[in-house]
């Protein structure tokens, strides 16, 4: 397996497909998944001549199941370890859900005059802040995230099955076509990872205020969100993020769910390609 070691000694698994001299696209996955969640995008873009890279976040997929470091700072640093090892330049960074938070932190810290970051894409992403606070009254109450913690701690296998079969892909909506293979693949990816990483990661994706990260991003940034996202409600995510970005473009997809990269790859992939080529 292809891995890099971070500065704090964590083995991070990654995939690297396509011509080494082509423009790189790096994909950052959501909770509690792995780089496998990007199959539909990686195949599409490698077939369009790009170099595609995706890694498993620490504690997820095939990366080391370490006890600590399950926070946005370490997530961004781990991504940078992969970028440095592969010497990726002029890259487009695309993040989904928690991976969108990872991209925001990564680009804010490493997207300056280094030439490493060309553009960014936040898909169904968690920034600026998911948790309801006095300053963020539109957020979700702590009880929602405590429910995720309880499910992860007490019966992770069933919780992951329920999330995938229900709100993640909108399979709980009336008339929705349910793909059992998609549900099973979500569950498979989740169960490959560490319960500790998944438990700690709930705090990372729900309580990290990324307002300043978004303000610091200067590269062209595409914000994509479905207006029927039951996991990361659009009103508290994309509609706020676009107001904080210096160079942002918002694309809203009517009726699309949180997992639209999988359920609607035929729509999302061409839109991603058009943004990257622009």
Catalytic residue from among 60, 93, 198, 258: 258
Answer whether 4's CB lies under 8 Å from 58's CB.
Answer: no
Secondary structure letter of residue 60 according to DSSP: S
Q: How far is CA 41 from CA 27, 29, 44, 45, 272, in A?
A: 9, 12, 5, 6, 9
Answer whether 60's CB lies under 8 Å from 34's CB.
Answer: yes
The rounded distance, in Å, linking the Cα atoms of 238 and 249 is 10
Distance of CA 210 to the CA centre of its chain: 14
Catalytic residue from among 34, 35, 63, 97: 97
At 193, give phi and psi (nearest 5°).
-90, 180
Would residue 264 show up in a list of annotated catalytic residues for this protein?
Answer: no
Taken in order 194, 256, 252, 38, is the CA torsion positive or negative? positive
Cite the DSSP H helix spans in the chain.
39-47, 72-86, 98-110, 142-165, 180-192, 195-207, 211-216, 238-244, 260-263, 265-277
Catalytic residue from among 37, 78, 200, 229: 229
Say whether 171 sits in a helix, a strand or coil.
Answer: coil
* Residues with active-site annotation: 97, 229, 258
């Amino acid at each position: 397996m292809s891995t890099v070691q971070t500065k704090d000694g964590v083995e991070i698994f990654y995939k690297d497909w396509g011509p080494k001299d082509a423009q790189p696209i790096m994909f950052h996955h959501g909770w509690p998944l792995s780089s496998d969640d990007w199959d539909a995008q990686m195949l599409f873009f490698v077939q369009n001549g790009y170099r595609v890279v995706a890694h498993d976040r620490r504690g997820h997929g095939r990366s080391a199941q370490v006890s600590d470091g399950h926070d946005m700072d370490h997530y961004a640093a781990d991504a940078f370890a992969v970028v440095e090892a592969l010497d990726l330049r002029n890259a487009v960074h695309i993040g989904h859900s928690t991976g969108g938070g990872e991209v925001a932190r990564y680009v804010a810290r490493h997207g300056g005059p280094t030439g490493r970051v060309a553009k960014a894409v936040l898909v169904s992403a968690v920034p600026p802040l998911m948790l309801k606070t006095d300053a963020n009254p539109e957020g979700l109450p702590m009880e929602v995230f405590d429910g995720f913690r309880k499910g992860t701690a007490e019966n992770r296998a069933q919780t992951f099955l329920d999330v995938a079969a229900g709100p993640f892909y909108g399979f709980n909506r009336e008339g929705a076509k349910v793909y059992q293979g998609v549900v099973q693949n979500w569950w498979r990816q989740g169960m490959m990872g560490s319960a500790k990483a998944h438990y700690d990661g709930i705090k990372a994706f729900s309580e990290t205020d990324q307002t300043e990260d978004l303000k610091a991003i200067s590269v062209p940034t595409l914000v994509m969100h479905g207006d029927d996202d039951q996991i990361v409600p659009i009103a508290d995510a994309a509609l706020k993020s676009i107001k904080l970005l210096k160079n942002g473009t918002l694309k809203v997809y009517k009726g699309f769910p949180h997992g639209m990269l999988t359920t609607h790859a035929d729509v999302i992939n061409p839109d991603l390609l058009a943004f990257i080529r622009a």
